[in-house]
Amino acid sequence: MEFDRDTIVYGSYEMVQEIATYLLERTGIRPRCGIICGSGLGCLADQLTEVDSFDYDTIPHFPVSTVAGHRGRLVFGRLGDVPVVCMQGRFHYYEGYSLAKCSMPVRVMRLVGCTHLIATNAAGAINSQYRVGDIMLIRDHINLMGFAGNCPLLGPNDDRFGPRFLGMAKAYEPELLSVAKQVAHRMPGMDEILREGVYCCVGGPNFETVAEGRLLELLGVDAIGMSTVHEIITARHCGMTCFAFSLITNMCTMSYDEEEEHCHETFVDVGRQLEGRICELVTRVVASIGDSEST
Ligand SMILES: O=P(O)(O)O[C@H]1O[C@H](CO)[C@@H](O)[C@H]1O
C-alpha cells in the first residue's frame, strides 16, 4: 500500500527531536507529566507557576489550533511541585490534520521527558444516566476510526518511539484511575458528578445522528467526542502512562422527538463552570504522580 507521507505520516523521530531540543533550550522546566486541555478546559494551564509558554505558530513544525476554546500554546511550568507541560489547545482530525499530526505533540512531550499523559476533553453523553456537568473518568475507549483503518501509527514504524504492534488492554492505567477516584471522593460534591466509562472518538465535525447515537449505545459507549483516542494510542506506543477524563457538556440526541441542542460555545461555557473542580482534580492526580516518582 502506498502512503502519502505528507498527509498520513507526520513527525519523523528527527523532527520530533528537533522540536524537543528547541523547547528544552528555551525553558528550564523538565516536565514529568504532559496535560492536554480539552475544549473549554484551558484553565488547567492557567494554574501553572514558573511558566514558559510557546505559541504553536512559533514552534518549528507545529500545527496551529483553529477551534474556539483552544488557545494554541504549549505551557511549561509547575503544577503544585510537579514540573508539567500543558497543551492549551489540541488538534482535531476535522481541522484537516492527519491523526499522526494531531497527536505528534504527544511524542514531543515524551522526548522532553514526560512519562505520564493526562488527556481531558469535552464530550456528549450517550449514557442516559449521565448529566451535563458530570466528569467521566475514562476506563477504556473504542477506536471507531481505527476500525475504519485510520490510526496515528499508520505507515512505517520507528522503533525509537515504540513497537510496531502494541497492546491496548490497559491503555488507561488502572492505578491512576483508582488514585483519581480516591482524590475525587475527598472533594466536596464530586461523588454526585463522578462517572467512569467508555469514550469513543468520531471524526466530526458534525455531531451524531439519532441512529448513530443509538448504535454507539449498543456498542457500549458512554460518551463521545472527537479527540483523545489517537493521543492515547500515540502515548502508549511511546511507553507513557495514561489517564483521561471527559467533561460531559451535552446529552446526545437519542430520539427524534428531542430538540438537538448542540452548540460548541455552550460546551466551552460548561467547562468554565466546572473549572475549579477540574483544576483541583488534575492538580491532585498530578501530585500523586509526583509522589510516586519521588519514592
Ligand atoms: O475533545 P475536545 O478537544 O475537548 O473538543 C470537543 O468539543 C468539540 C465539539 O464541540 C470537538 O472538538 C470535541 O472533540
Supply the range of the domain harboring residue 217. Answer: 27-154+166-255+262-292
221 lies in a domain?
Answer: yes
Q: 200: which 3 cell numbers?
A: 469513543
35 lies in a domain?
Answer: yes
**Mean of per-residue pLDDT scores for the chain:** 93
Catalytic residue among 92, 116, 141, 237: 92
122 is in an annotated binding site: yes
Q: Which residues pair with 135 in a beta bridge?
A: 194, 247
Q: How far away, in angstroms, is 280 Cα from ligand 1 center?
A: 21
**What digits encode the pLDDT tens for the residues 278-295?**
999 999 999 998 887 665
Angle between helices 275-294 and 264-273 (to 10 degrees): 60
53 is in an annotated binding site: no
95 a catalytic residue: yes
Return the pLDDT at 6: 52
d(CA 243, CA 141): 12
277 lies in a domain?
Answer: yes
Asked if residue 1 has pLDDT above 50, the reply is no
Distance set, CA 111 to CA 30, 139, 259, 265, 267 (Å): 11, 26, 46, 34, 32
Return the pLDDT at 4: 52
Q: How far away, in angstroms, is 131 Cα from ligand 1 center?
A: 17
171 SS3 class: coil
pTM of the model: 0.96
5 lies in a domain?
Answer: no
Q: How far away, in angstroms, is 14 Cα from ligand 1 center?
A: 30
17 lies in a domain?
Answer: no
245 is in an annotated binding site: no
Q: 282: which 3 cell numbers?
A: 488534575
Q: Which atom of ligand 1 is nearest to the CA of 207?
A: 9
128 a catalytic residue: no
56 lies in a domain?
Answer: yes
d(CA 274, CA 187): 13
Q: How many domains in the chain? A: 1
Judge contact between 129 and 252, C-beta under 8 A. no
**What digits encode the pLDDT tens for the residues 66-109?**
887 778 999 999 999 999 999 999 999 999 999 999 999 999 99
10 lies in a domain?
Answer: no
Helix segments in 159-263, DSSP class H = 174-185, 190-193, 210-218, 229-237
48 lies in a domain?
Answer: yes
d(CA 1, CA 196): 39
Return the pLDDT at 260: 74
The CATH number that applies at residue 131 is: 3.40.50.1580
**What digits encode the pLDDT tens for the residues 34-47?**
999 998 888 899 99
